[in-house]
Every structure is written in structure tokens, then in C-alpha cells.
Amino acid sequence: MADGDTTGQEARRSRGGRQQRRDARVGVEAGIHRPYIVRGIPTYDILSEESLQAIEATADRILAEIGIELREDHEAMRLYKAAGAEVTSETEDVWRIRFAPGMLREILKTAPAEFTQHARNPANNVRIGGKNVVFAPSYGSPFVMDLDKGRRYGTIEDFRNFIKLAQSSPWLHHSGGTVCEPTDVPVNKRHLDMVYSHIRYSDRAFLGSITAAERAADSVEMARIVFGEGFADQNCVVMGNFNTTSPLVIDGVTAAGIRTYAEANQGSIHLPFLLGGAVAPLTIAGMVAQGFAESMASCALTQLVRPGSPAILASFFSSMSLKTGSPTFGMPEPAIGSLAMGQLARRINLPLRCAGNFSTSKLPDGQAMWQSMMSMMSAIQGGANYVLHSAGFLDGLLSMSYEKVVMDTDICGALHAYLDGMAVNEDTLAFEALNELGPGQHLFSTQHTLRHYETAYWDSALDDNQPWETWDEQGGIDYAQRANTRWKKILREYEAPALDQGIDEALQDFMARRKASMADMWY
């Protein structure tokens, strides 16, 4: 009966985690955290076997009959062809690649179901796949916003600030990648400052650049400087987050970038960003089938380059407002799609990236948080292993919000407790606690209450759960304003984790040389 719903190992983990959480609470996000979550609750499987097979069959049919359009990358074309795909030239450097049913599944058998991405602080290594859940901040917003200064283009200072905020939260596990676009740095040099900032201001695992093959190579090279060339060749120390060009296209920059990471044995995420009615069918079943097909085709390239290199199946589903045609985020239909994607990923035995704290709201208000919660629940219930966009996402991903970062990280804390599930054993069933004083008597003073008082519940650092009168006396401050105060406090108190001076100098030297080797580009 002990630990009915968790294995012994997970239960120990979980108890350890509870203790760490308590420590973190005392230290108010002092950086003591679980390196990642091992889920203690099952996934939420909403589709029947019949429906799953129908989606898989449609994905297979898409791949076999329509195929994927590959652009520009001759080497990728050669690899797909050598693996047995049917390749038809559309122009000199555009090919249609068709895959016989089941072919991609066969190729993907060499991809690991679970792998470790190493962090420069080994205590922060993350395990991706299986029952593991890793939270990373949001990715790719050109704008940033806060309550004081409103919305403006992101800068490298914002970029560093978001890394610092993420690093300061015990409820995130990964430093992410393009936490905002540092638009004040030239486009062709930005990746160097971004990767360096992740290494310098965080000691967690991170994502490298994917916007050009040479930027991908620079990212891998900087990771090698940190981890050593030999170690980096045998272990995942950096990952790239790649988008297909939906519907059904893989462009040359993406294919070359994927090959760069895979050749180096580094991880890659393969993400169709699907807006229903625009680049995917409006109906969710079709959107999921397409996303699954695209992501499998993209993932497979890694195994053709270097079998065994880590690849993450991924999907990003969004709907649209039928009134205006605008994209919508955090809606119920994509949430249902994400749950289905979880089932498909497990059937093909690949780690999954899916959903996150999505919202279309332009402020860190009630809309932002209900949409986020609906979307995020689908990630954690659906079994997503790597949840990019766990913190900061507003404005349909166009803006990274300082307030929402601290709101979302707090909620990520709540999700740690949620994913722990319910321990069912003699102690937690607490018969003796009820029996001690009997009917009608409050349990404040029972041994059971005293024993569990400090650890029973997750405690928010940002919610106001006081009585109305107390809250009112203290000024009646709303959630967004509390978040505003909080991110400033965290940045004031932030201390960078130590970085080996030799590594720091080597990184700076590498960046200087790379920057000197090319003229600034601004688009």
C-alpha cells in the first residue's frame, strides 16, 4: 500500500523534492530547486486506440502521398534518398520527399527515448523524455513589456534580465534560448551574445542558435569550450529549436542547422508551428496529423546524420478568432490537440516538446492567466517532457513580459506539487489524525498536523491568500503589481553563478574573433 501511485524511486525523489521546495520557500527562490520533475501522476490520454491509429494512418498518408518539400539543402536530400525516400525534383534545389508508410518510424528507432542535457553545473543536468518534465522560459519574442515602460523592442539588457529572472526561480529547470530578441545587436552576431549570456548568467542547460548553419556551428563550438570537446561529442550539452515551414516544408537553413547539431551529437527540437486555417487544417485532428508527420520527417534527419543523436518531437498548436481571423493562444481546441500529441509521442517512443504558458492577452491580467493555465495544463497532463514557453509568454508570443515571467514561474511551482500527485500510504491516509480527537474537533493540534505543517502544501511567493481585511490594509495590491515589485526585487538581489575564468576568457576570445570576422548585418 505504501506509495501506491509512485515507484519507490520516484517517491524518494518526490520527498526530496518536497524538502527542497520547503528550503526554496524559506529562501524565497534562492535557487535551490529540483533539477527537473519526475511526474508522479499518469498522463491524460483522451484519444482511443482507434482514433490514434486513424491519426497515425493520416500522417503516414501525408508523408507517402503528399510528401515533404525540402529546399536548398542537397546533403539533406541525399540523406533522405539514401535512406529509401522517394525524391522528386521540383526545381534545381527544391525536392519533394515521399516516405513509404512506417519508414520514418523505422528510422526513428535509433533516437533515444530519454537523454540527459548537461548543464555547466552538473546539479542542474536535465533528463528529457519518459516521465521527466523540464520547464524553460519563453522563446522568440521580438518585443518585451513591463507595467512601467510598456511594450518596446527587446535588447540584450532585457535578454540578460530574463536569463537572470529564470535562473533565480527554483521552478524552472532550463535557461531556454532566445528569451527575447536582442534587437540592438546585429542579426548575424546576436547568437554569440545570446549563448554567452546563457553561460555567463545561468548555470543551467540552454538552447543555441538555429537561424543559420554557421550560427548553429558557433553555438555548438561555444558549448564545446564550456564542456570540453571530447565530453561534448559523447553528451548533449546544447540543443537547437527548429521550426518546419508549415505546411509540409523544410527549408535549407533549417535542414543544415539540424545536420549541424546532429553531427555534433547535440539535441534538436522539431517544431511545426501550426495555426489552424492558415498553415494547417482548421480541424484539430488534421492539425495533429500534419504536425506529427512534419515533426517525424524533421526528427528523422538527425538519425540519418548520426544515429542515436537526441531528437525531440514537438508541436505548437494555435487556433484563430473566428470573428477577426487573428491567431489565438491558450484556447481549448489546441489544448485538446496537445493532449493527443502526447499520446502519439509515447507510441513512437520519442521525447516531446508541447504547449506552454500561452496567451494572446496584451497585459498580465486575468485573460493572460486563464489562457496560460489551460495551455500549460495540457503540457503537463499530456506528458510533454520539455516545456519551452513556461514563463513570460504574452501577446501571442510577440512580447516577453517581465511581470508574467514571475507569475508563470510561480505557477510552475504549483505544477511541481500537481505533478507530484497524491502519496497514498498509512501516514497520508491519516486515520489516527482523525481518531486522535474524534468528531467535531479541529485538527490544528494533532501530531499529524504538526508533523506535516511545514511541507504539506506548495506555497506561492506571489499570490495574496490573506483575508480581505489584511490585504486591504496593506494597500489592496493586485497580482500584476505584486509581480512588478517582485521581478525588480529578484533582479536587484540576483548574483551570477561562478564561471571558471579560463572558460570565460576562451568564450570571450571566441566571440571577439567571430565578431571581427564579419560585418554587421541588421536584417
Instruction: Give CA–CA dist 212/256, Å, rounded.
Output: 8
Name the minimum Å distance from CB 329 to its own copies.
Answer: 8
Residue 347 found at the interface with its own copies (CB under 8 A)? no
Rounded to the nearest whole angstrom, what is the least distance from the CB of residue 10 to its own copies in the complex?
13
Name residues whose C-beta falls within 8 Å of residue 400's C-beta, 6 or more positions apart in sequence.
Answer: 138, 141, 143, 144, 145, 154, 158, 162, 179, 180, 392, 393, 394
7-15, 116-124, 264-272, 459-467 -> range binding its own copies (CB under 8 A): 459-467
Distance CA 147, CA 72 (A): 44
By CB under 8 A, the residues from 417 to 446 that bind its own copies are 417-418, 421-425, 427-431, 433-435, 438-444, 446
Shortest Å distance, C-beta 208 to its own copies? 27
Question: Does residue 28 sit in helix, strand or coil?
Answer: coil
Which segment (29-37, 133-141, 168-176, 414-422) binds its own copies by CB under 8 A?
A: 414-422
Q: Whole-number minimum distance, CB 189 to its own copies, in Å?
A: 28
Those residues whose C-beta lies under 8 Å from the C-beta of residue 512, and which sit 6 or more positions away, are none
Binding mask 152-191 for its own copies (x = CB under 8 A): ----------------------------------------
Binding of residue 91 to its own copies (CB under 8 A): no
In the range 53-82, which residues lie near its own copies by CB under 8 A? 54-55, 58, 61-62, 65-69
Nearer to its own copies, 315 or 446 (CB): 446
Establish if 458 lies at the interface with its own copies (CB under 8 A): yes
Instruction: Give the whole-angstrom CA distance, residue 72 versus residue 275.
Output: 25
Cα 250 from Cα 2, distance rounded (Å): 50
Write out the binding residues for its own copies, residues 462-501 only, by CB under 8 A.
462-468, 471-472, 476, 478-480, 483
Query: What's the CA gap between 211 and 292, in Å, rounded?
Result: 23
**Which contiguous run of DSSP H or E holds residue 4?**
none
Per CB under 8 A, 395 contacts its own copies: yes
Q: Which of 197, 360, 385, 409 binds its own copies (CB under 8 A)?
A: 360
Residue nearer to its own copies on the CB measure, 417 or 503: 417
Q: Which positions from 270 to 309 touch its own copies by CB under 8 A, shown as an x/- string?
A: ------xxxxxxxxxxx-xxx-------------------
Q: State in angstroms the smallest separation of the CB of 91 from its own copies.
A: 12
Number of residues that bind its own copies (CB under 8 A): 132
The cell for 72 is 536548398
- H helices, E strands: number in the chain: 19, 19
Describe the crossing of helices 402-420 and 156-168 by its angle, rounded to 10 degrees: 30
Instruction: Please say which residue, 227 or 458, places its beta carbon nearer to its own copies.
Output: 458
Among candidate residues 494, 471, 492, 469, the one with its CA nearest the CA of residue 481: 471
Given the complex with its own copies, which of 42 and 307 has the nearer CB atom? 42
The alpha carbons of the chain give a radius of gyration, in whole angstroms, of 23
Residue 270 Cβ vs its own copies, minimum distance, rounded to whole Å:
16
The only residue of 74, 306, 347, 448 in contact with its own copies, by rule CB under 8 A: 448
Q: How far is the CB of 479 from its own copies (least distance, A)?
A: 4
438: left (phi over 0), alpha (psi -120 to 50) or beta: left
Nearer to its own copies, 47 or 179 (CB): 47
Cell of residue 444, nine digits: 490544528
Q: Is the peptide bond before 247 cis (omega within 30 degrees of 0)?
A: yes
Q: How far is the CB of 224 from its own copies (least distance, A)?
A: 36
Candidates 407, 490, 507, 511; binder of its own copies (CB under 8 A) is 407
Does position 449 interact with its own copies (CB under 8 A)? The reply is: yes
Residue 381 binding its own copies, by CB under 8 A: yes
Rounded to the nearest whole angstrom, what is the least distance from the CB of residue 126 to its own copies in the complex? 22
Give me the least distance between CB of 32 and its own copies, in Å please: 17
| Residue 203 CB burial class (10 angstroms; 0-12, 13-18, ≥19) | buried
Give phi and psi for 461, each to the nearest 5: -90, -5
Under rule CB under 8 A, residue 336 binds its own copies: yes
Q: Give the single-character DSSP code of 321.
A: -
> Which residues inside 202-221 make contact with its own copies, applying CB under 8 A?
none
What is the DSSP annotation of 458-519? ---SS---S-HHHHHHTT---HHHHHHHHHHHHHHH--PPP--HHHHHHHHHHHHHHHHTS-
